[in-house]
Amino acid sequence: MNKYNVLENDEHHTASSAPKKSKKKHVWYKPAIFLAALTTLIVLGVFVILLARSARRPYIPPTPPSPDVPKDPYKHAIYLLTNNMLMDSHNDLPWAYKLYDDNVSAIDLRVNQSDLDTDIPKIREGHLGAQIWSVYVSCSYAGSLAVQATMEQIDVVYRLAEAYPDVFEIATSSAATNSAWSSHHKVASLMGMEGGHCINNSIGALRSFYQLGVRYMTLTHSCSTSWAQSSSDTSGDVIGLTEFGKEIVFEMNRMGMMVDLSHVAVQTMDDSLNATLSPVIFSHSNALALCNTTRNVPDRILHRLKDNNGVIMINFYAAYICESFRLEQIRLSSIPNCTAACVNAGLTAFQANQTTACTVSDVADHIDYIKNLIGVDYIGIGSDFDGVDFLPVGLENVGEYPNLFAELVRRQYSDTDIVKIMSGNMMRVLAEVEQQSASIKQKFPIVISQ
Q: Over the stretch 255-275, which tens digit does the pLDDT of each residue have?
A: 999 999 999 999 999 999 999
Q: Is 108 a catalytic residue?
A: no
- C-alpha 228/C-alpha 224 separation (Å) is 6
> Catalytic residue at 386?
no
Q: Which residue of the set 76, 127, 197, 221 is catalytic? A: 221
Given this model, what pLDDT does residue 78 score? 98
Q: Is residue 90 flagged as an active site residue?
A: yes
Candidates 88, 92, 169, 260; catalytic one: 92
Is residue 284 part of the annotated active site? The answer reads yes
Do 342 and 350 meet the contact criterion of CB atoms below 8 Å apart? no
Asked if residues 205 and 450 have their Cβ atoms less than 8 Å apart, the reply is no
Q: Among candidates 285, 233, 226, 294, which has minimal Cα distance to 261?
A: 285
What pLDDT, on the 0 to 100 scale, is given for residue 62? 44
Residues near 312 by Cβ (< 8 Å), separated by ≥ 6?
A: 281, 282, 285, 286, 297, 302, 305, 370, 378, 379, 380
Considering 263, 271, 400, 407, which one is annotated as catalytic?
A: 263
Residue 393: left if φ>0, alpha if ψ -120 to 50, beta else—which one? beta
- Average pLDDT of the chain is 89
Reported as a single tens digit per residue, the pLDDT across 215-247 is: 999 999 999 999 999 999 989 899 999 999 999
Task: Exactly one of 88, 119, 169, 194 is catalytic; name it.
Answer: 194
Asked if residue 88 lies in contact with residue 385, where contact means CB atoms within 8 angstroms, the answer is: yes
366 is catalytic: no
**Of these residues, 76, 88, 90, 127, which one is catalytic?**
90
pTM tops 0.75: yes
Q: Pick out the chain residues at pLDDT < 50.
A: 1-29, 48-66
Catalytic residue among 119, 251, 260, 384: 384
Contact present, 127 and 82 (Cβ < 8 Å): yes
pLDDT at 162: 98
SS3 category, 400 = helix
Q: What is the pLDDT of residue 48?
A: 46
What pLDDT was estimated at residue 236?
86
